[in-house]
């Protein structure tokens, strides 16, 4: 029976193999470092990793950039490719990423939240509560459920999910669209869905053609297979596995919500 620790070990090994050093070193660079999105998703789904997205706050972003340059010879790319521009165009919660590449063409992207709405108007600086909230909001606001998976370090490194059933969605190569998300943008999300579809992912809530009973049956079996997979996982609550309530999952994220 799979446990969360089994899945976490798998993710850590696959990401370490990709970046060509132990992924645990990243979490020792500074506080506020989270590996999230595609690399974690694709590791769970047994797909090829294309790049690593790392969410950082300002101090940790600079420290991580220098660490990657000095210790592992990752170099900053001055030009963004069209794919990267499409992924981040029109998103108000995040700045365009810093992109670094090593000699083996392995790519790490450092993602930083934008500060609008989190600055103290009295001193024009980020207050402590706003600092943490900006970080948490970005992790929570995921437009596709299968991308809501991440590794972060509290007292130890943990695998967690930002929205309901994100981990099992990755294991089943399915997803749901979260239109309430602050990262949702119709054109961008359609672009991301197209990329997922080309790699074999399916939208759990896709509309079915009533004149194609085979398609309807096929989706029904996909959902049954996913339910069986969920029931076969040995997730232990003491591991601090985050399961969102239905209310949290369906309602729009607010700045006052707890993590």
pLDDT at residue 258, rounded to an integer: 38
Q: Which residues of 32-69 are buried (b: 16+ CB within 10 A; e: fewer)?
A: bbbbbbbbbbbbbbebebebbbbbbbeebbebbbebbe
Cα–Cα distance, 54 to 98 (Å, whole number): 10
Greater confidence (34 vs 211) lies with: 34
* 90: pLDDT strictly greater than 90: no
CB 144 within 8 A of CB 180: no
Mean per-residue pLDDT, 41-53:
96
User: Going edge to edge, which strands form the sheet with 33-36?
Assistant: 75-76, 98-101, 107-111, 52-56, 33-36, 149-153, 157-161
Mean per-residue pLDDT, 182-211:
80
* 252: pLDDT strictly greater than 70: no
pLDDT at residue 123, rounded to an integer: 45
pLDDT at residue 239, rounded to an integer: 33
pTM for this entry: 0.76
pLDDT at residue 42, rounded to an integer: 97
Cα–Cα distance, 158 to 104 (Å, whole number): 28
Give the pLDDT confidence of 166-178 residue by residue, as tens digits: 888 898 898 988 8
Show the CA angle centred on residue 61, arms to residues 126 and 78, nearest 5°. 120
Owner of token pair 């101090």: 59
Greater confidence (250 vs 102) lies with: 102
Q: Residue ranges of the domains in the chain? A: 4-250
* 17: pLDDT strictly greater than 50: yes
- What phi and psi, each to the nearest 5 degrees, are found at residue 28? -90, -5
Give the pLDDT confidence of 120-135 residue by residue, as tens digits: 445 445 555 566 766 7
- Please give the CATH architecture assigned to the domain spanning 4-250: 2-Layer Sandwich (3.30)
Greater confidence (162 vs 212) lies with: 162
Q: Which of 99-108, 185-194, 219-228 has the highest mean pLDDT?
A: 99-108
């Amino acid at each position: 029976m799979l446990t969360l620790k089994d899945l976490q070990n798998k993710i850590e090994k696959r990401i370490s193999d990709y970046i060509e050093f132990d992924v645990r070193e990243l979490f020792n660079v500074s506080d506020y470092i989270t590996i999230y999105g595609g690399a974690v998703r694709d590791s769970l789904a047994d797909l090829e990793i294309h790049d690593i997205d790392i969410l950082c706050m300002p101090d940790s972003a600079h420290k991580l950039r220098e660490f990657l340059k000095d210790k592992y010879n990752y170099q900053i790319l001055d030009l963004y490719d069209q794919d990267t521009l499409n992924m981040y165009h029109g998103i108000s919660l995040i700045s365009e990423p810093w992109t670094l590449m090593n000699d083996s063409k392995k790519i790490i992207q450092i993602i930083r939240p934008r500060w609008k709405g989190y600055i103290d108007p009295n001193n024009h600086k980020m207050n402590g509560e706003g600092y943490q909230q900006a970080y948490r909001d970005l992790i929570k606001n995921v437009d596709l459920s299968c991308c809501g998976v991440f590794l972060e370090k509290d007292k130890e490194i943990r695998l967690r999910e930002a929205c309901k059933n994100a981990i099992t969605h990755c294991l089943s190569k399915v997803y749901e669209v979260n239109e309430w998300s602050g990262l949702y943008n119709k054109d961008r999300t359609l672009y991301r869905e197209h990329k997922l579809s080309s790699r074999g992912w399916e939208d759990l809530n896709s509309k079915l053609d009533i004149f194609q009973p085979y398609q309807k049956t096929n989706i029904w079996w996909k959902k049954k297979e996913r339910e069986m997979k969920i029931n076969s996982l040995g997730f232990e609550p003491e591991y601090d596995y985050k399961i969102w309530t239905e209310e949290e999952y369906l309602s729009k994220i607010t700045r006052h919500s707890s993590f």
